[in-house]
């Protein structure tokens, strides 16, 4: 088994869905936290000038979603067949759109756009509620967890901090969150200081 190194900033951010996946799947990795002082030098070595970066033995990967899909293939959490894999990709793309809106809010328009964002949020949450209600397997797709579920988990956790009541009208999402969060490895991780003390975003907004 190769060693995994995940390079990112000392925040949850885009990297947390990767960490949640690795924890839940019992796969060891090393977090390399890049601070403000070292970032200008490290940035020069990064293919696109950004993090996260994954080192998997001699494979160096950038782009969070490429990293997530690579690990999902390795860990066997990319669906049970081609059809499920395609549906997982579709669900994941939707989640990535939600994530992009969230990141834009946090870094570009927190003060001016939060009210509008929270007004529009139930539309996306409603769609997810419907998707989860219609899949009796208990996950986004099929009857086994996939890499997309960890992104959804991270987004639900972030949005609960942004707006603690955001799931009040979505009982299926609420019980999905409770169910995934109570998986033993995830529960232990989420109770750890490493998780609790790590800020969600680099600018302190959440
Ligand atoms: N599409 C890339 C991915 O998904 O990996 C975007 C990566 C990205 O924007 N990284 C930011 C970065 O490296 C950090 S964050 O958006 O994940 O918080 N910023 C530092 C810089 O100098 O650009």
Q: What is the DSSP track for 151-194? A: HHHHHHHHHHHH-TTTTTT-HHHHHHHHHHHTSHHHHHHHTSHH
Mean pLDDT of each 10-residue bin along the chain, 206 residues long: 94 98 98 96 98 98 98 98 98 98 98 97 98 96 98 98 98 98 98 97 97
Residue nearest to atom 3 of ligand 1 (CA): 63
86 and 178 housed in the same domain? yes
39 and 8 housed in the same domain? yes
CA of 88 to the centre of ligand 1 (A): 23
Q: pLDDT value at position 185?
A: 98
141 and 157 housed in the same domain? yes
Total number of domains in the chain: 2
With a Cβ cut-off of 6 Å, ligand 1 is lined by 13-14, 43, 49-52, 63-64, 103, 202
59 and 86 housed in the same domain? no
Tens digit of each residue's pLDDT (9 = 90 or more) over 171-181: 999 999 999 99
Q: Which atom of ligand 1 is nearest to the CA of 201?
A: 18
Q: Domain for residue 202, yes or no?
A: no
Q: Is the pTM above the cut of 0.95?
A: yes
Q: Which domain holds residue 11?
A: 4-77+190-196
């Amino acid at each position: 088994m190769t060693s995994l190194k995940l390079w990112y900033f000392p925040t949850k951010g885009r990297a947390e869905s990767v960490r949640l996946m690795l924890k839940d799947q019992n796969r060891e990795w090393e977090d390399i936290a890049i601070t403000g002082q070292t970032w200008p030098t490290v940035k020069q070595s990064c293919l696109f000038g950004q993090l996260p970066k994954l080192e998997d033995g001699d494979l160096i990967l950038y782009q969070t979603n490429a990293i997530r899909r690579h690990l999902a293939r390795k860990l066997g959490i990319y669906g049970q067949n081609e059809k499920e894999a395609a549906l997982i990709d579709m669900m994941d793309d939707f989640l990535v759109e939600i994530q992009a809106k969230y990141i834009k809010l946090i870094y570009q328009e927190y003060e001016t756009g939060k009210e509008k964002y929270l007004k529009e949020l139930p539309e996306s949450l409603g769609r997810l509620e419907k998707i989860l209600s219609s899949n009796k397997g208990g996950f986004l797709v099929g009857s086994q967890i996939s890499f997309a579920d960890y992104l959804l988990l991270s987004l639900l956790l972030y949005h609960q901090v942004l707006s603690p009541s955001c799931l009040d009208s979505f009982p299926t999402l609420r019980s999905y969150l409770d169910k995934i969060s109570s998986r033993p490895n995830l529960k232990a991780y989420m109770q750890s200081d490493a998780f609790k003390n790590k800020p969600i975003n680099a600018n302190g907004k959440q």
